[in-house]
Copies of this chain bind each other. A is one copy, B any other.
Amino acid sequence: MKPYAELTKEELMELRKVLKAQYREYQGKDLKLDMSRGKPCVEQLDLSMGMMDVLNSDSDLTCEDGTDCRNYGVLDGIREAKELLADMMEVNPDNLIIYGNSSLNVMYDTIARSMTHGVMGSTPWAKLDKVKFLCPVPGYDRHFAITEYFGIEMINVPMTPTGPDMDMVEELVASDEAIKGIWCVPKYSNPQGISYSDETVRRFARLKPAARDFRIYWDNAYGVHHLYDHDQDHLIEILAECKRAGNPDLVYKFASTSKVSFPGSGIAALATSLNNLADIKKQLKIQTIGHDKVNQLRHVRFFGDIHGMVEHMRKHADILRPKFEMVEETLERELGGLGIGEWTTPKGGYFISFESMEGCAKDIVAKCKKAGVTMTPAGAAFPYGKDPKDTNIRIAPTYPPLGDLTIAMELFSLCVKLASVEKLLADMKENRNAE
């Protein structure tokens, strides 16, 4: 098949007829498939059912240091949980606080604290006229929702295959004191699955922000979420790199076991410099007496250590790999060479990112929806939900069973074709009118 851009008007009209007939067939199938969020599938959840057995009524729920996990106390997490999460996050356990079940909540809380109390003694952001954040795009919608909720102005920074456009980041951060942070998913990014290059991480660690309360919000959500055993992305550890660069306080690093054990019932953590930790603990001791230590202990007893967690993640990979491969194969088979879309082929994480022709993404997602397949809303990966070029669609292959996913991706490809043909025809009409 020729690239669509080379087809004549007549060929396109004929093609549209064929595609429409195929689309109507799908509409008749009464599909109800949800590909909107990056949720683990049932088989993945089953992997962690053993976690329900590691503690029982005969168990000693005492920590290695003698703390009874069943009672009040221990503000920043039990030692053995810190060690496990520190190994997962590649940091020193002393640089870590264990929180509750959600790293998103820790990020929210970090912004909320900065609003009311500033960062290490700086002016509370709520007292400033203007606060801005840099947002690499496409990115994670829930990050952007937090900054939007607090009235923080968001500035788009384009993603490149090696991470955010660092020339732009460096320049903006150095020149504008109102810029207080940047949202990053540095490994297997949401939604593109891009891992930041060594140079990108090094440039991050060497940023010279105008604002002394500027921090990098490093959401390492997919740090151990590889799809392959050997062909894995490696990320330079940012805390250590910041320390080496003489900027030890520049970064907050977040992670959780949400997609390791059970989403919503895992444990979350924040890792940062001792200075930042001291600042955060002033709040933490007011906020709570302590997080769920029994659940911390449950995780430690289930995984044992980081090797146990790595072995566990291999089982996740075995379930997810065929899904990712199927999506990529279908897209290649259906759309390869047509010049109407591009997609990423990540080695880990939870998403594949699709780029349509300009102005087609919303239409494609709407067409999928009308035929019973719910995708993440087009534009969701951009601040304020606005994709300037209307090209980006996030594909979340993890949750549906492989059979459903195959059908969904075939329908998706069909919708891409149909939307593209319609766009090309509309453009032709417009060009004629303009002549």
In the complex, chain B residues whose CB is within 8 Å of the CB of A69: 265
A42 within 8 A of B: yes
**Cβ A101 vs Cβ B45 within 8 A:** no
Q: Is the interface of A mostly helix, strand, loop or mixed?
A: loop
Q: A53, B45: Cβ atoms under 8 Å?
A: no
Distance from A14 Cβ to chain B, minimum over Cβ atoms (Å): 44
- The segment from A55-63, A166-174, A328-336 found at the interface with B is A55-63
Pick the contact of A265: B50, B117, B127, B294 (CB < 8 A).
Answer: B294
Q: Copy number of this protein in the oligomer?
A: 2
- Interface size on A, as a range, is 35 or more
A354 at interface by CB-CB < 8 Å? no
Residue A235 lies at the interface, judged by CB distance under 8 Å to chain B: no
CB distance from A92 to the nearest CB of B (A): 25
Taking a contact as CB atoms closer than 8 A, the residue among B40, B56, B146, B294 that contacts A262 in the complex is B294
Identify which of A40, A59, A286 gathers the most chain B CB atoms within 10 Å of its CB.
Answer: A286
Nearest-Cβ distance from residue A188 to partner chain B, whole angstroms: 18
A158 on interface, CB distance cutoff 8 Å = no
Q: Specify which chain B residues have a CB less than 8 angstroms from the CB of A112 in the assembled complex.
A: 112, 116
Mask, A253-272, CB within 8 Å of B = 1, is 00000100011110000000
Does A8 sit at the interface, judged by CB under 8 A?
no
Listed in ascending order, the chain A residues whose CB lies under 8 Å from chain B are 37, 39-40, 42, 45, 48-50, 52-53, 55-57, 59, 61, 68-73, 100-102, 104-105, 108, 112, 115-117, 124, 126-127, 142, 145-146, 149-150, 258, 262-265, 283, 286-295
